Amino acid sequence: MNEPLLEPSEPLKGGEPFWERSLKVTTAEQTHALGAALGGVLEAGDLLVLTGELGAGKTTFTQGLGEGLGVRAGIISPTFVLVRIHPNLPDGPRPGGPDLVHVDAYRLESAAEIDDIDLENTMDSSVTVVEWGRDRVEHLSDSRLEVDLHRSVGAEGVVPAIHVEDSGTVLDFDTDDDDEPRTIIFRGFGPRWAEAPKLLETTISEGGH
């Protein structure tokens, strides 16, 4: 079984984040498993900011988060809808847990436009994941977890062709399911993330942790 290689870094000195961790994954299954492991420790009110080019794995990672949170399946890229809400499942692994609010801020140019979609109304009871949220959502919470996903191969500047994966319920417009090496960087900001989750200090396997 292939395992991603954890490469912890020292806490950043003089910068805003309390810590930074870098994780290498080699398959979409590992990206999904890492998201599921993290979803299992997230709490209502948590804000995650996802950054990564097309095909970097944002949708696959968020699908894993949803599995770990125990929310309704069917997470797809919110490219054509700014906000999707995935409710917690009473018969799921975390009954009574937070909903997942999945946001695509790519076409939003400012924090004011973020305010227009009223995320404040759901943040206290949900985990909020914002793709392309950097420099747009920091005012929403005094704590946030930034997740940067980077493809390790591919021609720089070439945008992957949009395709549809027909698996019954999932339409993936982000070409996230390619098995290729990726680097996922986590940074913790604010009191909620004063310390890195323990799962980032151990190796995550394809089946979980």
Burial class (CB in 10 A: 0-12, 13-18, 19+), 66: buried
CA distance 190 to 203: 25
Let me know how long the chain is: 209
Q: What is the pLDDT of residue 174?
A: 45
- The first and second tokens of residue 140, run together, are 């929403």
Q: What is the pLDDT of residue 152?
A: 74
Q: What is the pLDDT of residue 178?
A: 64
**Contact in structure between 123 and 99 (CB atoms under 8 Å):** no
Strands 83-86 vs 99-104: parallel, antiparallel or unpaired: antiparallel
Taking CA atoms, 70 is separated from 64, 74, 89, 142, in Å, by 10, 12, 6, 25
Q: What is the pLDDT of residue 79?
A: 63
CA distance 188 to 132: 17
Handedness of CA 80, 131, 198, 43 (dihedral sign): negative
Helix, strand or coil for residue 29?
Answer: helix
135-185: per-residue pLDDT in tens?
A: 899 999 999 999 999 987 543 433 333 232 333 333 334 444 567 889 999
Q: What is the pLDDT of residue 76?
A: 84
Question: 10-42: b or e for each residue (b if 16 or more CB lie within 10 Å)?
Answer: eeeeeeebbbbbbbbbbbbbbbbbbbbbbbbeb
Amino acid at 115: D
Q: What is the pLDDT of residue 117?
A: 87
Q: Which of the residues in the chain have pLDDT under 70?
A: 1-15, 78-80, 153-178, 202-209
**Contact in structure between 10 and 178 (CB atoms under 8 Å):** no
**Contact in structure between 119 and 101 (CB atoms under 8 Å):** yes
Close Cβ partners of 15 (under 8 Å, ≥ 6 residues apart): none
Q: What is the pLDDT of residue 15?
A: 47
Bridge partners for 20 per DSSP:
187
Q: What is the pLDDT of residue 10?
A: 42
